[in-house]
């Protein structure tokens, strides 16, 4: 990632993508080209701190558009792709799986084809430096029992349309490396949380509702377990993978912070001072995986990475951010930021 110092970040106006872009612009001299379709969860306001910065170029567009992707690569000659663009909400994938197939599988395949052609035309030194970093999820591994952790060698057993679409995209990424020698990197992370997250995922939804005094809907018995990672820790891991990772390898990132959904909700109630009576148990999600947790040993050893933000600290920062940014929350919930 050195000769032209340009990286393309797909989905760079989303929750994790915008955090990564802000981090890169804050901490490096890298130039960033963001390609984002601006679906309901994408928001250019998440990049407002760098509005007018000459190192950031924003392109509204779809990764499923091969002509756009090819022209972008030709114009900017990036030395790396960080692929975060994805449909990512399990509930939405249950209600409408087709868009997950289109974006997560076809879109990733289109990027791989276009980037492979770009890479094959590079001179040897630029080709050696090029990386295609594909950001995935621990949900591709399926559901764990009461014990154990997912590792990079765990078999794939996706159980929702969302995780199936991400698993398929992961397999295409790995196949392009093994078949063509294309320099890919694959990362699978546990549940992210932090500022700027669209309020449909557990933590921002519960925080938003608690701050407004509205019911906090909890699936089933609330005892499903997830490992939580603060979004900045995840983005530090992506940066480490990009610069230190071995081409063709996969790396898991986790926060070492397993919690049941009910523990999360109770912690939010405690920190916001909201009434515990707001907890409302609702019918469980179809095919709801019971537990996820990842072993990040490989990333810690090979990338010299580790999560730095303790869960309680990260949750407090997240709650404070949503409390101070009610206007952002209202605008993204209503879609007013698109006007």
Q: Which residue, 138, 134, 139, 137, is CA-closest to 172?
A: 134
Residue 138 annotated to the active site: yes
Local confidence band at 2 (pLDDT 50, 70, 90 cut-offs): very low
**In 155-198, alpha helices (H):** 161-180
176 lies in a domain?
Answer: yes
Of the listed 36, 62, 87, 138, which one is catalytic? 138
Of the listed 50, 62, 87, 162, which one is catalytic? 162
Look at residue 228 and tell me whether its pLDDT is greater than 50: yes
Look at residue 167 and tell me whether its pLDDT is greater than 80: yes
Q: Global pTM?
A: 0.96
More confident residue, 304 or 331: 304
Angle (nearest 5°) at CA 96 between 145 and 164 = 40
Question: What is 227-278 written as a DSSP string?
Answer: EEEEHHHHHHHHHHHHHHPPTT-EEEE--S-EEEHHHHHHHHHHHHT--GGG
Contact (Cβ atoms closer than 8 angstroms) between residue 216 and residue 265: yes
Angle (nearest 5°) at CA 257 between 236 and 234 = 15
pLDDT at residue 329, as a whole number:
87
Residue the block writes with tokens 């797909």: 10
Local confidence band at 216 (pLDDT 50, 70, 90 cut-offs): very high
Of the listed 36, 62, 87, 139, which one is catalytic? 139
pLDDT at residue 26, as a whole number:
95
Q: What percent of the chain has a predicted confidence (pLDDT) above 90?
A: 93
Tell me how far apart the alpha carbons of residues 231 and 112 are, in angstroms, rounded to a whole number.
26
157 lies in a domain?
Answer: yes
330 lies in a domain?
Answer: no
Task: Locate 177 and state its tokens.
Answer: 């490396």
Q: What is the mean pLDDT of residues 95-120?
A: 98
Total count of domains within the chain: 1
Contact (Cβ atoms closer than 8 angstroms) between residue 105 and residue 149: no
224 lies in a domain?
Answer: no
142 lies in a domain?
Answer: yes
Query: 78 — phi, psi (to 5°)?
Result: -70, 155
pLDDT tens readout for residues 242-298: 999 999 999 999 999 999 999 999 999 999 999 999 999 999 999 999 999 999 999
pLDDT at residue 333, as a whole number:
80
Residue 162 annotated to the active site: yes
Residue 221 annotated to the active site: no
204 lies in a domain?
Answer: no
Q: What is the mean pLDDT of residues 321-330?
A: 92
CATH number at residue 303: 3.40.50.720
pLDDT at residue 1, as a whole number:
36
Question: 102 is in which domain, residue-wise?
Answer: 6-194+230-254+290-308
**In 273-325, alpha helices (H):** 297-302, 311-324
């Amino acid at each position: 990632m050195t000769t032209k110092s340009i990286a393309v970040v797909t989905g760079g106006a989303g929750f994790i993508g915008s955090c990564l872009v802000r981090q890169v612009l804050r901490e490096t001299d890298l130039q960033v080209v963001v390609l984002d379709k601006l679906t309901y969860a994408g928001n250019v306001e998440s990049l407002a701190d760098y509005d007018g910065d000459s190192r950031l170029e924003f392109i509204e567009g779809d990764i499923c558009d091969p002509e756009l992707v090819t022209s972008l690569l030709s114009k900017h000659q990036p030395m790396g792709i960080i692929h975060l663009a994805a449909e990512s909400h399990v509930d939405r994938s249950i209600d409408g799986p087709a868009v997950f197939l289109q974006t997560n599988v076809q879109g990733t395949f289109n990027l791989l084809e276009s980037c492979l052609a770009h890479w094959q035309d590079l001179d040897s030194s630029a080709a050696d430096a090029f990386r295609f970093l594909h950001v995935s999820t621990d949900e591709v591994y399926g559901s764990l029992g009461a014990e154990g952790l997912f590792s990079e060698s765990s078999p794939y057993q996706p159980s929702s349309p969302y995780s199936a679409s991400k698993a398929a995209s992961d397999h295409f990424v790995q196949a392009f490396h093994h078949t063509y020698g294309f320099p890919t990197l694959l990362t699978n992370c546990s549940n992210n949380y932090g500022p700027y997250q669209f309020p449909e995922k557990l933590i921002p939804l519960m925080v938003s509702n608690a701050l407004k005094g509205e019911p906090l809907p909890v699936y089933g018995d609330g005892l499903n377990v997830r490992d939580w990672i603060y979004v900045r820790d995840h983005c530090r891991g992506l940066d480490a993978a990009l610069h230190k990772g071995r081409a063709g390898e996969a790396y898991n990132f986790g926060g070492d912070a397993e919690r049941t959904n009910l523990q999360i909700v109770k912690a939010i109630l405690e920190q916001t001072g909201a009434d515990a009576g707001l907890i409302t148990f609702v019918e469980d999600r179809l095919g709801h995986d019971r537990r996820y947790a990842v072993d990040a040993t490989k990333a810690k050893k090979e990338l010299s990475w580790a999560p730095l933000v303790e869960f309680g600290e990260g949750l407090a920062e997240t709650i404070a951010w949503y409390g101070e940014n009610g206007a952002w929350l209202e605008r993204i919930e209503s879609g007013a930021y698109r006007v």
